[in-house]
Structure 1
């Protein structure tokens, strides 16, 4: 049964298109509305005509009952006078009949001369009594010898005794009301047909407009696309947030909530983006229409790569879509691919170097110089142990210490040396300072110094690092054996894409350093080094500012 209903619904959706549905819906609405209004109008018209006819009949009856000659003729029971007078009065007032009777209801005047002398109560099944409370007449509808009529009865009062001596009955046939109502009913039918045709034309025009606005799609197709769109948003690993022209959020996937650290159960749809992300630059794109591509943004200790694209319709900006992803996720694969070749080259050089050292140790043992062999082995491990001891004492933070130890090993792989000043001290690292940002800044600068030294000096070069946490700033100094940086280049090296290296994929490290320092309100100074290279001096406040969000 359910399968049959589903098949019927599917066939209905495919056969009955949007335009047909709108014609049917609007047409039925017009039919219902005009039918209800017309039915009410006809009912009200019929009642109004009944009341109007009753008032007219009552007025004619009262007027006739007040004529002195009528009062006198009733007293004398003069039918010869009353009969022609009733016919004349009926014709003059457009009434179907005027009947005059005595106080007992015996007719003294009637359109049918044979009915004179008979009781007027014989024509009424309910035998309505001839009583007039307060001396006033009344109107009613009844079936008489001449048909259904609106009747009005008025008492004839004797001017001498103030007693009821007779009654005047005036009747108007109700078929006149039926003919008027039928005439209006025909007019209403024409109005309903015309309204349906007008609604059909409006439905076609409106349906064409809607179809153009929705790119010719049917409602069920839009529903499927909406479901596919939601599934697509949730399947991508990038956070996506979209706003409309009023700056309110219209789209937000679960990845965006997780990346921004918001509760995944929170519904952001309809909220102003300024309330959710107070420091977001997405409103800048909405105001200017200028897209943002691959912008690096720090938020809650996470570095994100953000793209913001304006949405336009007819030349007007209607909203903005922002997509973002953690940079470390993108960098992880890139760095691994970039360093595979470096590791391979380093391993080959180290294998050759350690092969020579092993041969030396083996030769010393063979000739019996055991103490010299042990001394040679100790010298190889001495510098490494000295650095570890220095880091333990001067840099209690394990993340920064691990970064420096990793760069030390990296320098050895490249055939270089990384020397840390023995007077360095870096124990007062603020708890709210992002360690990820800190190691990104120091790591990028050390990598840049090692590569510059290797290109210019070759193996055997040295990079020197000095650190201090005295005062209100954390200060790092890095001195390399590279070719140095000209004053002109010192103004450009922090721009994105500016590099002295060959090949693609460079010119990012120092740009990121500048971006991250701006986030921390830090500074960096570039000056000539003591050994012909360059010296980079970094100042990071111990009280970092609030991070900007996406």
Structure 2
């Protein structure tokens, strides 16, 4: 079964525009021809009536009719018909009997023989009128006027002037032929216009057919709804054009809210989409607060022919990402702790096995008891002072790492870190403390010393951590640049990133870090992290 959908867009456009052109020009043409025919009939009728009234007013005609001078009237009417381009001029008496006619044979016969008209309006009531009829000479438009006597009181005859309708038909035919040409030209122009428009339109829609666009639109909607990230897009005027259900849920908006077509600044006053729309600068993985929610946001401009036509933003709640990150951090810390413990206890077991083989059983038992007591004391301290498993796991792992290196990580037994606010990401604290402890271990080992000290407290308005090493210290002229990316006192590549990361994380949390020399000529790093939520530029 034939269907327009089976045709290409260009073919459809040509057919539709061509048919529209045919329909429009056909209807307009029919109206024009009908109006023209009516107008010509009216004009010719008025002309015939005017000629008839003019002839009826000629004194010689009045006298000839009164005297029934057919010879004079016959000659005169032929001349008048020729002068006025009329097909005929017929004169009758008061009874409608012909006194003049183009055909001599019809003289003396009643005028109604031609058209069945008894000429009553003119003969009985003295009124001129127009008539269309088919007579002995063919179809014509006639103007009929009464002939009054010299006193202008009595009707003594009638004048009938006729113009043949074939003249009108000839004019209509000429216009009809012109109309046919216009219709053909309009159809051709419409086809060419359809070709041009379809080519331009298909270029704008990347050569796709309408059905393909429809399928892509459905796939796009299904894809948007299947994505767990919130998606919002705006056009060049900043009005929302696209959004998905995840966007409404993530931003905590009313599920019945109508977003399409609304200005983004009306729905989300704190959004920075308009900044991207103005500047065209993308924003990737921005940590923002929006609608009282901490989000990770990406904002990308939509470019078309080098111009910014809109912005697309994807976002997800940070706590969801933090949950995944937290799990990864826990696994990493546990793996690090197990690795360190495995390595350390492997060495201890070898030592105990050697003492037993040498028969030094008492020494082996003492070593076992000492190790058990030391490890239990550390675990007890961490359980009481650091309830958070992620932070405690980090410290236990660093403690075992220090033992691997032959160093000792001393954790202040008076430490307390029990009141960490929920909004402070644990993995960021772990990253800060872990990097500082690693640096302290490396500096102490390089200076051939053994002790690294860690103390912490959650009293007051800040979380405070102190990491003290027994390294060679940091010269005063380098202290201002030590936190820059790539700046390091270590040899080789792959260094100079830890302290830079620490500073960036503290800036995000609104915290600070202080660097001081110690009595052992090493360095003390003091970290302050405010418990209050930091103000984040969104």
**Displacement of 1:183:** 0.5
Does residue 290 of structure 1 match 2:281? yes
Q: What residue in structure 1 maps to residue 525 of structure 2?
A: 535
Closer, same or farther in 2 for the Cα pair 1:353/1:178, shift >3 Å?
same
1:104 to 95, 105, 111: 95
* Within-5 A mapping of 1:76-95: 76-95=67-86
Contact 1:249/1:269 (8 A) holds in 2? yes
**Displacement of 1:441:** 5.1
The alignment partner of 1:322 has SS state of strand
Q: What residue in structure 2 maps to residue 344 of structure 1?
A: 338
Q: What residue in structure 2 maps to residue 449 of structure 1?
A: 436
* Within-5 A mapping of 1:260-299: 260-263=251-254, 266-299=257-290
The alignment partner of 1:94 has SS state of coil
Contact 1:296/1:305 (8 A) holds in 2? yes
Taking structure 2 as the reference length, the TM-score comes to 0.79
Does residue 516 of structure 1 match 2:508? yes
The alignment partner of 2:314 has SS state of strand
Give the Cα separation in 2 of the matches to 1:159 and 1:41. 46
* Within-5 A mapping of 1:294-443: 294-299=285-290, 304-325=295-316, 326=318, 327-328=321-322, 331-332=325-326, 334-335=328-329, 338-339=332-333, 341-348=335-342, 416-419=409-412, 421=414, 435-437=422-424, 439=426, 442-443=429-430
Closer, same or farther in 2 for the Cα pair 1:495/1:420, shift >3 Å?
farther
**Displacement of 1:94:** 0.9
Q: Which stretch shifts more, 72-81 or 246-255?
A: 246-255
Does residue 479 of structure 1 match 2:467? yes
Q: What residue in structure 2 maps to residue 154 of structure 1?
A: 145
**Displacement of 1:172:** 0.9
Give the Cα separation in 2 of the matches to 1:108 and 1:149. 20
Q: What residue in structure 1 maps to residue 357 of structure 2?
A: none
Q: What residue in structure 2 maps to residue 255 of structure 1?
A: 246
**Displacement of 1:180:** 0.4
Give the Cα separation in 2 of the matches to 1:289 and 1:417. 52
Closer, same or farther in 2 for the Cα pair 1:79/1:486, shift >3 Å?
farther
Give the Cα separation in 1 of the matches to 2:289 and 2:239. 23
Q: What residue in structure 1 maps to residue 365 of structure 2?
A: none
**Displacement of 1:203:** 1.9
Does residue 462 of structure 1 match 2:453? yes
Q: What residue in structure 1 maps to residue 175 of structure 2?
A: 184
**Displacement of 1:153:** 1.2
**Displacement of 1:181:** 0.6
**Displacement of 1:137:** 1.0
Give the Cα separation in 2 of the matches to 1:497 and 1:236. 38
Closer, same or farther in 2 for the Cα pair 1:524/1:34, shift >3 Å?
same
Give the Cα separation in 1 of the matches to 2:285 and 2:340. 32
Contact 2:13/2:198 (8 A) holds in 1? yes
Q: Which stretch shifts more, 197-206 or 134-143?
A: 134-143
**Displacement of 1:85:** 1.3
Closer, same or farther in 2 for the Cα pair 1:339/1:402, shift >3 Å?
closer
Contact 1:441/1:516 (8 A) holds in 2? no
Give the Cα separation in 2 of the matches to 1:79 and 1:55. 27
Q: What residue in structure 2 maps to residue 50 of structure 1?
A: 41
Give the Cα separation in 1 of the matches to 2:235 and 2:482. 38
* Within-5 A mapping of 1:19-30: 19-30=10-21
Contact 2:440/2:467 (8 A) holds in 1? no
Q: Which stretch shifts more, 498-507 or 340-349?
A: 498-507
Closer, same or farther in 2 for the Cα pair 1:523/1:229, shift >3 Å?
same
Give the Cα separation in 2 of the matches to 1:72 and 1:523. 128
**Displacement of 1:319:** 3.0
Runs of 5+ in structure 1 lacking a partner?
Answer: 360-365, 368-372, 392-397
The alignment partner of 2:120 has SS state of coil
Contact 1:297/1:548 (8 A) holds in 2? yes
Q: Which stretch shifts more, 125-134 or 69-78?
A: 125-134
Give the Cα separation in 2 of the matches to 1:186 and 1:252. 58
Contact 1:86/1:109 (8 A) holds in 2? yes
**Displacement of 1:66:** 0.7
Closer, same or farther in 2 for the Cα pair 1:148/1:79, shift >3 Å?
same
Closer, same or farther in 2 for the Cα pair 1:91/1:133, shift >3 Å?
same
Contact 2:333/2:394 (8 A) holds in 1? no
**Displacement of 1:170:** 1.1
2:106 to 109, 115, 134: 115
* Within-5 A mapping of 1:163-242: 163-242=154-233
Contact 2:224/2:231 (8 A) holds in 1? yes
Closer, same or farther in 2 for the Cα pair 1:343/1:237, shift >3 Å?
farther
Q: What residue in structure 2 maps to residue 370 of structure 1?
A: none
Give the Cα separation in 2 of the matches to 1:495 and 1:235. 42
Question: Across the two proteins, how many residue pairs are aligned to each other?
Answer: 509
2:513 to 508, 515, 525: 525
Taking structure 1 as the reference length, the TM-score comes to 0.77
- Cα deviation, 1:409-446, whole Å, max 9, x if unaligned, reads 55666564544756x7997x9xxxx7233645544433
- Cα deviation, 1:258-287, whole Å, max 9, x if unaligned, reads 333334554533333333333333333333
**Displacement of 1:20:** 1.3
Give the Cα separation in 2 of the matches to 1:307 and 1:509. 21
Give the Cα separation in 1 of the matches to 2:479 and 2:422. 27
**Displacement of 1:229:** 3.0
The alignment partner of 1:319 has SS state of strand
Contact 1:77/1:108 (8 A) holds in 2? yes
Closer, same or farther in 2 for the Cα pair 1:525/1:461, shift >3 Å?
closer
Give the Cα separation in 2 of the matches to 1:505 and 1:232. 42
Give the Cα separation in 2 of the matches to 1:155 and 1:62. 8
